[in-house]
Amino acid sequence: MKKKGTKRLVMLSALTMSVMALSCSAAADDDYAGTIYLAGIAPLTGSYASWGEGAVNAYNLAIQEVNAAGGVTIDGESYKLESAVFADDKSDATEAVSAYNNCASYDISALIGSCASSCTLSFVEAAQEAGILVVTPYSTNATICKTGDYIFRECFSDADQGPTLAKLATEEFSAKNIAVVAAEDSDYCAGLAEAMEAALDDISDVTYEHYGCVTTDTDYTAQISKAIEQGADVIIYPNNYDTVPNFVRQARDAGFEGPILGGDAWDGTDVTGYESKFDNCYYLAHVDLSADTEAVQSYVSAYRDAYGEDGLNAVSSLYYDTVKMLVQAMEEANSYDPAVLKDTLLSMEYESMGGTISYDENGDAQKPFTIETFEDGALTYYGSF
């Protein structure tokens, strides 16, 4: 595939690592009317590499399945689906700009990515100006889709997730006194906490205290002590999965036995060695991969056959669903032109593994919330909102 030279790129010099995605076809290349290209971004290395591993695996799996089923049908003709590039942003905003530049240098119908909100925020303005369709599977910061009409998300927004966390605390667990411990150096954590606290402000007879931290903290003794002193019924910890085991362990060791709640970035939390401490912990998720629905079981089986258990998480399912959703949009629109696809996405529904998705006028997904909990350390479905 030839790179193109007409799109505006963000001019930063940081290098990015790219991984050429695999695809297979049920037919020879000369049986297709043409080839449609996608590109992807995720953290393939760095602190959140487990998200990236699942993302690239599921992205490739979806492309393989589309081609095995005959490709993308447009105006009665079959087109092969391929990945131009899958780039590593290392979960770093500067690296994400380089990853975007790499992807934007190809003629693509859509860019799928990224995970961390700070990474996606780093390139969406350039993508909007260049007319590159972006669908982020996992970045929930509420401002992302407000960038413009070429920017969408397959996941829910913090504008919806925050109030749902507040509802979970106050309605499901009857909390009247809440402690919030949120990382203030993260667009995701700070944005989610802000949306949640705005919702709590509107609920009568509920009080809360906010205790800040940063993403590199390992000692939460001060915040947890203050939460216990205030008599918190519930602690809400809307931070990323790599920090969750340490926080939960310290809270339980300090004597807090009440519910500890988290957002969707708890997905991938390793509870090994802390299994009993995760009793009475809950988080909002995009899908329950233990569900006995045909869609979930088919995906889980196909993923395990191809890649084993590594990276099999909610993030992987979102990248998979995003590919399949874009293919549906192409076939409904009879086009793979980004300018046409963006309008089609606004008017269609897609049956994802986590439930029916439709889009509002901003490109924000409207979809159900799944609640996950832990039983003897095993991730378990709790309910839905």
> Do 245 and 122 belong to one domain?
no
Give the model's pLDDT for residue 28.
Answer: 64
Q: Is residue 265 part of a domain?
A: yes
- Tell me the CATH number at 123: 3.40.50.2300
Let me know if residue 239 belongs to a domain: yes
The edge-to-edge listing of strands for the beta sheet with 281-285 is 207-213, 177-183, 234-236, 260-262, 281-285, 370-375, 378-384
Please check whether residues 280 and 310 belong to one and the same domain.
Answer: no
pLDDT tens track for 149-207: 999 999 999 999 999 999 999 999 999 999 999 999 999 999 999 999 999 999 999 99
384 within a domain of the structure (yes/no) = no
Which parts of the chain have pLDDT scores under 70?
A: 1-28
Q: What six digits make up the tokens of 55? A: 């993302």
Any domain includes 301:
yes
Asked whether the beta carbons of 353 and 323 are under 8 A apart, the reply is no
* Contact between 116 and 94 (Cβ < 8 Å): no
Tokens 């990236």 sit on residue: 52
Q: 333 with 280, same domain?
A: no
- Cα distance between residue 93 and residue 183, in whole Å: 17
Q: Which of 249, 270, 285 is the last residue of a domain?
A: 285
**Domain count within the chain:** 2
Domain endpoint, select from 262, 285, 308: 285
- Please check whether residues 236 and 347 belong to one and the same domain: no
Task: Tell me the residue range of the domain where 262 lies.
Answer: 159-285
Residue range 84-130, pLDDT digits in tens: 999 999 999 999 999 999 999 999 999 999 999 999 999 999 999 99
- Beta strand pairing call for 177-183 and 365-366: unpaired
Does any domain span residue 4? no
pTM, entire model: 0.90
